A and B are shown apart, each in its own frame.
Chain A
Amino acid sequence: MSNRIVLIFTILLACQLAGEVVARLLRLPVPGPVLGMVILFVALAIRGYVPDDVGAVSGGLLQNLSLLFVPAGVGVMLHAGVLADNWLVLSVALVASAVVTIAVTGLAMTWMKRVTSAGDEAEERP
């Protein structure tokens, strides 16, 4: 079992590595980890199922995903100057953009679901 964890991490890292190599080799505009994700997705689709423990390890990683953003966020101290000069612009842009993006995405999907009457499960009555 413990050996499986090493194996699963090796698979994740190998996919990332392959993604980085392919992105550089073909000079693609897509970042390596995105290609790595596509590689793993295709591999899973070919294999046809996700082994339970693979799901458990990746689930553990994704459940604590927000921890992984902490070091980058602390980098706020590096940009004190830029942020002090632009704090109003950046705050307005970030908050407004987040509100608009969530609203537009949610409404677009709701509307399209209604039009195509897709996703019948859990469809609420009007």
Chain B
Amino acid sequence: MIATPREIWVYLAASPLLHLTMTLAAYLAGDYLFRKSGQKAILNPVLIAIVILVSILLLTGTSYESYFEGAQFVHFLLGPATIALAIPLYAQLPRLKRVFGPSLFALAVGSLTAIISAIGIGWALGASRPTLMSLAPKSVTTPIAMGIAEKIGGLPSLTAVLVVTTGIIGAVIAQWLFRLLRVKDEAVQGFAIGVAAHGIGTARAFQISETTGAFSALAMGLNGLATALLLPILIRAWGGQ
């Protein structure tokens, strides 16, 4: 006896297999369009994948929870990927030593700029406190940002969305901004992308050059650490007034 399409759908909708496959396929489709367009920054693979997946989930009436049952296997890899950042960090150690002072200075200035500009603009435009706290860590990679948001009273899942959006924005605007500001040094470009736009920016930076990518990965790791240390202190100082 042959199963009805409905029976098959019931099985697929309940198993992680379908949504895991869909996540990878949507990303490949995004990546294909991105390459096909001659790497136009606006056709960001993550953005395309999200649009495809949200459309499918809304059309089929699937909840985010049941989607995440499958997608969690991909999401989980963010943890090990964060650990793996230690490797390019270590590999770039000799270069980093040469620009150690400027890097540390740029990290301190950039990390504070990311936090203060986001909270400042949000506050000036009247965002609520939980929204501000969700917004504050948006420049660092997802697992770190979610951990910070939880500690300072934001909504971790909203933070995740804001982090991804920031990454896409950073990846889209970076090269345009560097042309405008005449920043040509690859190490500097990479560092600025990594501080502002974490992993999605880093993926973009690797397309510019190996050096840009490595410095972006470095800055992403350092800014994760810096923001995790700085933000709770800043919030305490700010909240205490």
Q: Which residue of A lies closest to B158 (CB)?
A: A79
Interface SS of chain A: helix, strand, loop or mixed? helix
Question: What string of 1s and 0s marks CB contacts (under 8 Å) between A94-108 and chain B?
Answer: 111111111111111
A6 at the binding interface (Cβ < 8 Å): no
Instruction: Report yes or no: B161 in contact with A73, Cβ–Cβ below 8 A.
Output: yes
Binds A, one of B2-10, B35-43, B99-107: B99-107
Contacts of A99 in B (CB 8 A): 173, 177
Instruction: Report yes or no: A65 in contact with B202, Cβ–Cβ below 8 A.
Output: yes
Measured between C-beta atoms, what is the minimum distance from B123 to chain A in Å?
9
Q: Given contacts A33-B83, A118-B102, is CB(A105)–CB(B196) below 8 Å?
A: yes
- The interface on chain B, measured as residues whose beta carbon lies within 8 A of the other chain's beta carbons, has a size of 111
Instruction: Report yes or no: A102 in contact with B192, Cβ–Cβ below 8 A.
Output: yes
Interface SS of chain B: helix, strand, loop or mixed? helix
Q: Given contacts A61-B77, A94-B162, A104-B110, is CB(A75)–CB(B188) below 8 Å?
A: no
Instruction: Report yes or no: B102 in contact with A104, Cβ–Cβ below 8 A.
Output: no
Contacts of A113 in B (CB 8 A): 99, 102, 185, 188
Contacts of B204 in A (CB 8 A): 66
Measured between C-beta atoms, what is the minimum distance from B8 to chain A in Å?
23
Contacts of B93 in A (CB 8 A): 45
A90 at the binding interface (Cβ < 8 Å): yes
Contacts of B95 in A (CB 8 A): 119
Q: Which residue of B lies closest to A114 (CB)?
A: B102
- The interface on chain A, measured as residues whose beta carbon lies within 8 A of the other chain's beta carbons, has a size of 79
Instruction: Report yes or no: B87 in contact with A44, Cβ–Cβ below 8 A.
Output: yes
Measured between C-beta atoms, what is the minimum distance from B229 to chain A in Å?
7
Measured between C-beta atoms, what is the minimum distance from B143 to chain A in Å?
5
Instruction: Report yes or no: B118 in contact with A93, Cβ–Cβ below 8 A.
Output: yes
Q: Which residue of B lies closest to A14 (CB)?
A: B83
Subset of 15 A-B contacts with CB under 8 Å: A29-B229, A34-B225, A37-B83, A50-B87, A54-B87, A55-B91, A67-B24, A69-B78, A94-B169, A102-B170, A108-B106, A109-B99, A113-B185, A119-B98, A124-B184
Q: Which A residues are within 8 Å of any B CB, using their own CB?
A: 9, 12-13, 15-16, 19, 29-34, 36-41, 44-45, 50, 54-55, 57-59, 61-79, 82-83, 86, 88-90, 92-110, 112-113, 116, 118-122, 124
The 7 closest A-B pairs by CB, nearest first: A105-B110, A31-B147, A71-B71, A109-B106, A72-B160, A106-B192, A73-B164
